[in-house]
């Protein structure tokens, strides 16, 4: 089944924020040979679907609102401010019929990481102490058990509403 890439039209069947061609050019420019080593474009499409599925973890952090109620993905959006990098002042707003290039790049980055396994694994109870032979591993109480992708967070930070821990206020 051919990958359905979100064009900015708010497609009901969209499966990815970027195409295989975009991801391939992106990784080629960065020397990421693991992407080129994948067996086929079908496998690359699968990785892009996994990456896009994972990006739903940002759903509550995106600025603005989905462009249509029927669209499959979180982008395109409207009322997403373009901020001045130095001062944070709103300079303009992203067009509501586009997927910003940084969102597509983040999708490509996550697709590369998806090659090595599940991006959002199910979690077991946290390990407090484990001994294997002479090596003991102990985790601090309350430490994060899920993977974080700081490079992806940095790419997407301009599209988040407020700071990392902010809440979106909706007035009735």
pLDDT, mean of residues 31-38: 97
Distance CA 113, CA 111 (A): 5
Number of helices (H) and strands (E) in the chain: give both, helices first.
5, 6
Residues 38 and 114: their CA atoms lie apart, in Å, by 12
Q: Where are the alpha helices (DSSP H) in the chain?
A: 20-29, 33-36, 41-54, 101-114, 150-156
Backbone torsions φ then ψ of 12, nearest 5 degrees: -70, -25
What are 43-92's pLDDT values in tens digits? 999 999 999 999 999 999 999 999 999 999 999 999 999 988 777 789 99
Instruction: Give the residue, 145 or 28, on which the prediction is more confident.
Output: 28
How long a stretch of residues is the chain?
172
In a domain, 3, yes or no: no
Nearest to 74 by CA among 163, 148, 11: 11
Task: Identify the pLDDT of residue 140.
Answer: 64
Contact 154, 106 (CB under 8 A): no
**pLDDT in the model for residue 125:** 59
- Is the model's pLDDT at 127 over the cut of 90? no
Q: What is the mean pLDDT of residues 115-126?
A: 77
Domain membership flag for residue 136: yes
Give the three-class secondary structure for 87.
coil
Residue 140 covered by a domain: yes
pLDDT of residue 147: 75
Asked if residue 5 belongs to a domain, the reply is no
Binning pLDDT at 50, 70 and 90, where does residue 33 land?
very high
Q: Give 167's pLDDT tier (boundaries 50, 70, 90).
A: very low
Dump pLDDT digits (tens) for 140-164.
666 555 677 889 999 999 999 874 3
Question: Which among 99, 47, 101 has a CA at the least distance from the CA of 77?
Answer: 99
Q: Is 1 among the domain residues? A: no
169 pLDDT above the threshold of 60 = no
pTM of the model: 0.81
- Supply the range of the domain harboring residue 89: 20-159
State the total domains in the chain: 1
Q: Is 151 within the bounds of a domain?
A: yes
Residue 114 CA to residue 152 CA, distance in Å, equals 13
In a domain, 61, yes or no: yes
pLDDT of residue 106: 98
Q: Is residue 123 part of a domain?
A: yes
Centre a 10 Å sphere on the Cβ of residue 4 and count the other Cβ atoms it contains. 17
């Amino acid at each position: 089944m051919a990958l359905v890439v979100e064009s900015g039209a708010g497609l009901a069947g969209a499966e990815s924020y970027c195409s295989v061609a975009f991801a391939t050019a992106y990784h080629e420019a960065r020397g990421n040979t693991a992407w080129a080593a994948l067996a086929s474009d079908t496998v690359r499409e699968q990785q892009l679907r996994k990456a896009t599925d994972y990006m739903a973890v940002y759903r509550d952090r995106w600025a603005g609102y989905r462009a249509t109620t029927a669209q499959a993905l979180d982008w395109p959006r409207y009322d997403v401010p373009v901020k001045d990098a130095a001062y944070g002042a709103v300079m303009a707003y992203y067009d509501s019929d586009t997927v910003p290039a940084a969102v597509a790049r983040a999708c490509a980055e996550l697709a590369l990481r998806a090659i090595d396994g599940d991006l959002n694994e199910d979690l077991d109870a946290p390990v407090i102490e484990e001994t294997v032979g002479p090596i003991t591993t102990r985790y601090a109480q309350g430490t994060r058990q899920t993977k974080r992708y700081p490079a992806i967070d940095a790419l997407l930070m301009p599209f988040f509403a407020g700071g990392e821990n902010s809440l979106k206020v909706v007035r009735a």
